[in-house]
Amino acid sequence: MEVQIFGVRKDADTRKALRFFSERRIKTHFVDLDQRPASLGELRRFAQKFGVGALIDSASQAFQDLGLRHARMSDESWLDKLVDKPALLLIPLVRTENQLTVGLNEATWKVWCGR
């Protein structure tokens, strides 16, 4: 099993995800969104399963700073905005094969690991 984790090193939930898989000796591929944003195709994969709204961290400082509280945009516009401004994403985004999670979700990860 190998997992891909999208997040930023400074984020506590991203560090918890990295530690969770590391403690179980599961190989991880970490994508630091501060260094390289997630691709539009990758975000679409998460949006297809959870919806675009589930990917947006409406409590983030970036969301508040950009004044997006009352924004009404299409899903495609939101995805473009998330690619341009990864600080708006609810992280970590975790993927293994065709299984996905958004945010800290240790219960689901334990199921993936068979524990």
Domain ranges of the chain: 2-113
pLDDT at 111 over 70: yes
Spell out the residues 6+ positions from residue 95 whose beta carbon is closer than 8 angstroms to its own.
Answer: 3, 4, 6, 45, 46, 101
Other CB atoms within 10 Å distance of the CB of residue 78: 19
pLDDT at 71 over 80: no
For the chain, give the mean pLDDT.
Answer: 91
* Class level of CATH domain 2-113: alpha beta
| pLDDT single digits (tens) 27-46 | 999 999 999 988 999 999 99
C-alpha 6/C-alpha 14 separation (Å) is 8
Query: Which tops the pLDDT comparison, 12 or 64?
Result: 12
